[in-house]
Every structure is written in structure tokens, then in C-alpha cells.
Structure 1
Amino acid sequence: MQAAIDILDEEGDAGLTFRALAARLATGSGAIYWHVADKDELLAAATDQVIVRFEPQDVERLSPQEAIRALSQGVFDAIDSHPWAGAQLSGNPFQYAVLRILEGLGTQVVALGVPERGRFNAATALLSFMLGLAAQYAVASRHFRDASDRATALRAVAAKWVELDPEQHPFIHHVAPLLPEHDDREQFMAGIDLILAGIDTSR
């Protein structure tokens, strides 16, 4: 798994082949097939390992809200460190890594005291927001090599936004200057807090 993760970090999904992995491990492809059936299973297992590494510890010491924030930060940091994992999470929402996240969220939603009829909606609202982040990072990883690429691209987007008719797009004009410099992690956690506030109100 670690060798697969290393290849994915260096070369992305396209670089991970059983031949490349066998060469990295100095073994034959047959030895790898003994452990995983195909590339999809290998990607799912690598994604799950990445998520596990960023899971918060000692969540029982946290309040449910704090535990959800900690889990959310862990998912963000996992995807930020391994953008290919974003593509895997968003591309296959039924893989075990996603179920692991949902279980963690659902446990805390129950602890919040959300009525049974609202638990699924509350937990999946949080999960869907996270998978939206995952999809964003998957796209960004294909277009931006590093932070400077991202900033340059966002400045170009903001410049196009400013060219729009301000009477038809007043909000876009208002937020255009914020786009190039905004902090992704801060914005993501603000979204989690908004969902938590909504859950608290509905509760």
C-alpha cells in the first residue's frame, strides 16, 4: 500500500500500474495479484489507508461538534496532502473509505441528539460537502502543479468575473477580489460550521 501511495503521490492515478508497482517492490505482478484483484481495489485500499492516517485520535474526549470538526479537518488534510485521493473519494462514493467517514460522522450526529428521522440527512449533508471538496481537489490536481499555479489561475478567473455586468452579477463582483487569496481550509471549515449550525437549529 505504501509503495502504491508513493507512486500516486509522484505520478498520479495514471502512473500506478501493476508493472510500475512490481518494479518499485522488486517483485513480480503475480505477487501483487495475490493481495488485490485489480487496480480499482488497489486504489480503494490506498485511499482508505490515507484517510485512516488523518483520522482524529481520542475523539471520545471531544464534544460531538468538536469531533465532527476534527474529522472534517482530517479529511481536508488527507485530500490536501494526496489530491489523487479526492478523485477516488468523489468517483466512488460507496467504497470503504467513504463509509468509514460516514460512520464517523453518523456516530457524532447521534451523539448530538439529532432525532432518528433526521440522522441520515444530517450525516449525509456533511459527507456530501466533504465529497464536493474531494471533487474540487481532484480537478485542481489536474490543472495546478503547485500553489503559485493555483494563485495565477484564480487571479485570471477573478479578472474575468470583474468583466461581467455588475448590475446582473453584483455578488460576483463583490467576491471577485477574495477569490485569489482565499484560504481553502478556512473556507471549508466555515462550511462545516454552517452545516453544524443548521443541524443544531433543526435539532
Structure 2
Amino acid sequence: MATRTRRPERREEPLSRQRIVEAAIGLLDTAGEGALTFRALAERLATGPGAIYWHVTGKDELLNAATDAVIATMTSDTTSTAGTAAATPQEAIRTLALGVFDAIDAHPWIGTQLARAPSQSPLLRVFEHLGRHIQTLGVPHPAQFTAASALLNYILGVGGQNAANARGHHPHTSRTELLNTTASAWADLDPDEYPFTRNVADQLRDHDDRTEFLAGLDLILTGITTRQNTTDPAHP
């Protein structure tokens, strides 16, 4: 009688902090922060909650680690960009800012996490790299904190608002339909009370969020460099 050859059992990838963080990011992206529980995460990883606690002490640490994992990619990209001969500090800042903007758009929960924990590493990564580029621009030391803070607040504010607008869309209403409806409402406002808003209604209808974000960023960068030149004794 022929013996049956046993098929080797498939070995599962061992549980690690990286696997846990990656699974948490997937859960946060699909269901939001409210759905991130260790029980739900354990089901996704086919393990027990106790095994996860071996690597992560709690939800706050897990949220911070998930945010840091996404943001670390943005800052490492701009570090390599800034090291190239063709890159300028302005270009490096634009790359970093747009990376964070896109990250918040793709992972809306990140904006909340960055604003919630200003002393933790994800936000500090962004602030640190903005500050380095500000230094490279030659901004005087007394103005460096203000310049970096203005850029950071703009990035987080506009990025977070863009993500909130996207989440607030009715699932059966496209962005184009929403903008058309809003622009039409603006155009119908009282001309004496809202003359400016009526005048830019068509620009709202046709605008691109990423393009407007970069345009606003360039206004801030222009202000930083202009102020630097007017206060630098070498530029009377």
C-alpha cells in the first residue's frame, strides 16, 4: 500500500511590530480610527490580542507608530532630494509639503494624529526637515522658528481641511458636482454683502486642490525669502 506523502504545512509570517503597524494602517484607511481596536487588529492578523500587546503597549502607541511609518517615507524622500545638486531648499520644501498633503489625503486619520501630538516624532520629523531647509535658505536664526512654524501650520491646516472636505462628500456626489453646486450658490449671494465671493465663484468651480495648495505654499516661501532679503545687510 502506497504511503501518502504529507504536504508541508504553510508557515505563517511571524508576527512583528512592522506587520502590526502595516495592518493598523490598512484598518485605519478602510474603517477609520474608531474601528482600530486590538480585537479587530487581531482578527486581521489571525492572532490573539495578547500577541499584539507584546509588541505595542496600547492604541496611542499604535496610532503614533502608524503615523510615523507614513511620515517617515515623506521625510526620507525629501532628504534624498535635498542632497541632489539640482535641488533647492524651496524645491525640497515643496516636495515635503506636497508629500504630507498627499499622505493626509490618502490617510485622512494622519492629519488628526499630527495635530493631536505636537511633541511626538511624526510631527517633529516634518518640523525638523522644514527647519533644515529654512536654515539652508539662509533665514536668520531669530526668524527660523516663525518661518518653519508658518509652513507647518499651513501644510497641516490645508491638508487636514482638504481631507475633511473629501470625507464630507456625499458618497453619490462627485467632487465636480459638489463644486458646481457650491459655486452656483456663491454666484447667487447678495452682491452688496459678498462682492468678492461672488466674483471668484467660477474659480472655485474650476480649481485644483493640489495646485492651489502649492500656490499658497509659494506665497509663504516668497514672503520668507523677501523678508530675509529686506532685513539682510547684504541686500539693502
State the TM-score, normalizing by the size of structure 1. 0.91
Segments of 4+ moved more than 6 angstroms: none
State the structure with more CA Rg: 2
Taking the aligned partners of 2:205 and 2:23, their CA distance within structure 1 comes to: 35
Matched with 1:47 is 67
Taking the aligned partners of 1:130 and 1:8, their CA distance within structure 2 comes to: 21
Structure 1 stretch displaced more, 118-127 or 51-60: 51-60
2:33 to 13, 17, 29: 13
Pair 1:132–1:21, CA change in 2 (3 A): same
Deviation string 1:33-80 (CA, Å, 9 cap, x unpaired) is 222222122111111111122332332222111111111111112112
Matched with 2:189 is 164
Aligned length: 203
CA contact (8 A) 1:158 1:176 kept: yes
Pair 1:43–1:145, CA change in 2 (3 A): farther
Q: Please, which runs of 5 or more residues in structure 2 have no aligned partner?
A: 1-20, 229-236
State the TM-score, normalizing by the size of structure 2. 0.79
Structure 2 counterpart SS, 1:94: coil
**Greater relative contact order (CA < 8 Å, ≥ 6 in sequence):** 1
Pair 1:105–1:133, CA change in 2 (3 A): same
| Seq. identity, % | 51
Aligned residue type for 1:166: P
**Structure with the higher fraction of residues in helix conformation:** 1
1:29 to 24, 28, 49: 49
Matched, 1:59 2:82: yes
Matched with 1:102 is 127
1:146 deviates by 6.5
Structure 1 stretch displaced more, 7-16 or 54-63: 54-63
1:87 to 103, 106, 112: 112
Root-mean-square deviation over aligned CA pairs: 1.9
Aligned residue type for 1:144: H
Deviation string 1:94-127 (CA, Å, 9 cap, x unpaired) is 3321110000000010111100100000000000
